[in-house]
Amino acid sequence: MQSLQLRQRDYLLRISRAMTARLDLPSLLRLILNSAVEMVGAEVGLLVLRQADGRLAPQAIYGLPPARAVQVAALLREGRDLAGAGEGGRTSPELPLSLLSAAAGIPLRQVVQMPLRSDDELIGAIYAFRSGGAAFGVNERQVLQSFADQAAIAVRNARLYEQVSAEKRRLDAIIENSASGVLILSPDRRVQVMNRALAAMTGWSAEEARGEPCWKILPLENSSLGSAEGVAGQNLCAAHDAPPLPHEIDPARPEQAQTSYYVEGDLLRPGGSRLTLGVTYTPLYDSEGRLLNIIGNVVDITRFREAEQMKSTFISVISHELKTPVALIKGYAGTLRRPDAAWDRATVADSLAVIEEEADRLNTLIDNLLDASRIQAGVFKLEPGAVDMARLASKVVERFRRQTERHTFELDFSADLPLVLADEARLRQVLDNLTSNAIKYSPQGGPIRIGGWQDGHEVTIFVADQGIGIPEDEQGRLFASFYRVDSGLRRQTKGTGLGLYLCKAIVEAHNGRIWVRSGQGQGATFFFTLPVYADGFN
Ligand code: ADP
């Protein structure tokens, strides 16, 4: 008896060592079952765990081929409920041993079942079988139960560990795939974790950034401070000497730890482009009030900023563009109406011409605004037909030729240019806009060339001037609504920044593309493509 207890202690010690060494669960269960079966001198042993569907599946087998073990386990399921069957080491009255023996392929005369319980829930059982000899005694049952308890603890630990790992994987995936940037900082503000979105914003890879101070990763310029909770904001990544956060707070006053700091600023990226970012920093304290981490949530607000600027540009441009013609019309009309003046015919004709021109300008502006709002509302319609681009361009040029003396016009269409499938009135708008821009933005005058060639199923049209050109970093934004390049000329030339936006919308409605090739002071050439009439819209 003494030696049984000693051996038991020895086995249990080995098992608890194996558990702390984090042996994987299947090996651990095998070790437990083997030890238990050897301890009580049984020939066959089975450790089964209840699956999600209620089935009992063998997790460790002793003395049986796996296929036999599965058959035995299936019978056990078909027998009585485990709790009723084996509680206290009784065999199931409904399950004759002859059936189990047939399934096992060897005679099983003695059987004992010990339940595996975790948090009062029956999660499985250990079975030990003998092919002969005496029934299992109280001592042996106790021994088996202590092993069953160890197995239950191991299963519980493994399940908890799996739950925690699954939870961690889920959180990692949420952080990694979050559309906004996520930054996890150590208390001394070095990067511990940075997600993909933030890597894309900053140009740093997560590996490069790890361990770096955050003021290297997120050096915001022109930053303005705000606070999510109305507390004075703090730019935690401004510089290495940014004011420190309290490393410890009073755990009795957890509200101290609730503060989030919000800051907005510009980030200069490696390629030279800028992003406007909004960063919310939230310090994370443990239950003892020690600073664990600072979580940074980074949102790219460049578009909002641009939209805000766009709105104010819209108001100033529109009011200016509307007011000028109205003031002119009113001025000329008032002068003509003066009862004390007698105007000669030429003056009256000139004044009326100005009134008509300005009214036309107002009309165009209103049409453009209506078109822009139709595009935004998605109700922009085309009436496509066959269009001869060379003819259309020559009509446009004829009209502009009368308006300028400084510019010369040249048409350069390949002789066999096919008809295009397009809405002629809309295309005229595109050519009008591009040509009037070519004139406006080459104030010194010079040649303006309009031409086109065929390229497979497409025709490419271009309008080229030798004017002030467009700096490369502005070219991406030209086609946005109300965007105007901030040059000295912008203030002198009339315009709303709607022309190119409409051109792009019209060309794209034809399944075409529009782009520009230019450089500062080198003139500009705008290109767009249209489908060949015979080939239809692709
Ligand atoms: P706008 O009414 O200001 O002319 P557009 O949308 O037609 O509006 O053009 C947007 C901006 O693109 C212009 O303000 C100008 O800065 C620039 N731009 C357009 N065409 C040219 C060109 N041919 N040469 C130089 N800059 C141009």
Using the predicted structure, report yes or no on whether residue 89 has a pLDDT greater than 50. no
Q: What is the mean pLDDT of residues 129-148?
A: 86
Greater model confidence, 28 or 295: 295
Report pLDDT for 333: 94
Greater model confidence, 454 or 487: 454
Confidence of residue 413 (pLDDT cuts 50, 70, 90): very high
Q: What is the mean pLDDT of residues 9-32?
A: 81
Contacts of 394 (CB under 8 A, 6+ apart): 411
Q: What is the mean pLDDT of residues 323-351?
A: 91
Q: What is the mean pLDDT of residues 443-468?
A: 96
Using the predicted structure, report yes or no on whether residue 143 has a pLDDT greater than 80. yes
* Angle at 307 (CA atoms; ends 304, 310), nearest 5 degrees: 155
d(CA 198, CA 474): 25
Instruction: Kindly report, as residue ranges, where domains of CATH 3.30.450.20 are found in the chain.
Output: 180-300
- Residue nearest atom 23 of ligand 1, based on CA coordinates: 438
Mutate which of 441, 450, 516 for ligand 1? The one with the most ligand atoms within 8 Å of its CB, which is 441
> Of 3.10.180.10, 3.40.47.10, 3.40.50.150, 3.30.450.20, which CATH number belongs to 180-300?
3.30.450.20
**Does the Cβ of 484 fall within 6 Å of ligand 1?**
yes
**Does the Cβ of 495 fall within 6 Å of ligand 1?**
yes
Report pLDDT for 233: 57
**Does the Cβ of 435 fall within 6 Å of ligand 1?**
no
CB neighbours of residue 46 within 10 Å? 28
Q: What is the mean pLDDT of residues 262-282?
A: 87
Contacts of 180 (CB under 8 A, 6+ apart): 197, 297, 298, 299, 300
Greater model confidence, 511 or 241: 511
DSSP line for 312-361 = HHHHHHHHHHHHHHHHHHHHHHHHHH-TT----HHHHHHHHHHHHHHHHH
300 phi and psi angles, rounded to 5 deg = -80, 110
Atom of ligand 1 at shortest distance to CA of 465? Answer: 23
* Angle at 476 (CA atoms; ends 365, 507), nearest 5 degrees: 55
- Residue nearest atom 18 of ligand 1, based on CA coordinates: 437
**Average predicted confidence (pLDDT) for the chain:** 85
Atom of ligand 1 at shortest distance to CA of 496? Answer: 2
Using the predicted structure, report yes or no on whether residue 79 has a pLDDT greater than 80. no
Report pLDDT for 136: 86
DSSP line for 230-263 = SSPP--TTS-TTSPPPPSB--TT-GGGGG--EEE
Between helix 97-104 and helix 66-78 the angle, nearest 10°, is: 160
**Does the Cβ of 438 fall within 6 Å of ligand 1?**
yes
Confidence of residue 134 (pLDDT cuts 50, 70, 90): confident
Confidence of residue 532 (pLDDT cuts 50, 70, 90): very high
Instruction: Kindly report, as residue ranges, where domains of CATH 3.30.565.10 are found in the chain.
Output: 385-535
Contacts of 298 (CB under 8 A, 6+ apart): 180, 181, 182, 183, 197, 198, 201, 218, 277, 278, 279
Q: What is the mean pLDDT of residues 311-333?
A: 84
> Of 3.40.50.970, 1.10.287.890, 3.30.450.20, 1.10.287.130, which CATH number belongs to 306-377?
1.10.287.130
Q: For residue 484, report the distance from its CA to the centre of ligand 1, in Å.
A: 6
Percent of the chain with pLDDT over 90: 42
- Residue nearest atom 14 of ligand 1, based on CA coordinates: 484
Mutate which of 470, 475, 487, 515 for ligand 1? The one with the most ligand atoms within 8 Å of its CB, which is 470
Using the predicted structure, report yes or no on whether residue 258 has a pLDDT greater than 90. no
Report pLDDT for 268: 87
Integer angstrom CA distances of residue 24 from 66, 253, 312, 500, 512: 20, 43, 64, 66, 61
Confidence of residue 455 (pLDDT cuts 50, 70, 90): very high
Report pLDDT for 2: 57
Instruction: Kindly report, as residue ranges, where domains of CATH 3.30.450.40 are found in the chain.
Output: 2-165
Q: What is the mean pLDDT of residues 62-67?
A: 93
- CATH number for region 385-535: 3.30.565.10
Report pLDDT for 1: 52
**Does the Cβ of 496 fall within 6 Å of ligand 1?**
yes
Show the tokens assigned to 94. Answer: 């409904």
Q: For residue 514, report the distance from its CA to the centre of ligand 1, in Å.
A: 14
Q: For residue 505, report the distance from its CA to the centre of ligand 1, in Å.
A: 16
DSSP line for 132-165 = SSSPP-HHHHHHHHHHHHHHHHHHHHHHHHHHHH
**Does the Cβ of 140 fall within 6 Å of ligand 1?**
no
CB neighbours of residue 351 within 10 Å? 16
Task: Give the CATH superfamily of 2-165.
Answer: GAF domain (3.30.450.40)
Contacts of 178 (CB under 8 A, 6+ apart): 195, 197
Instruction: Kindly report, as residue ranges, where domains of CATH 1.10.287.130 are found in the chain.
Output: 306-377
Greater model confidence, 450 or 93: 450
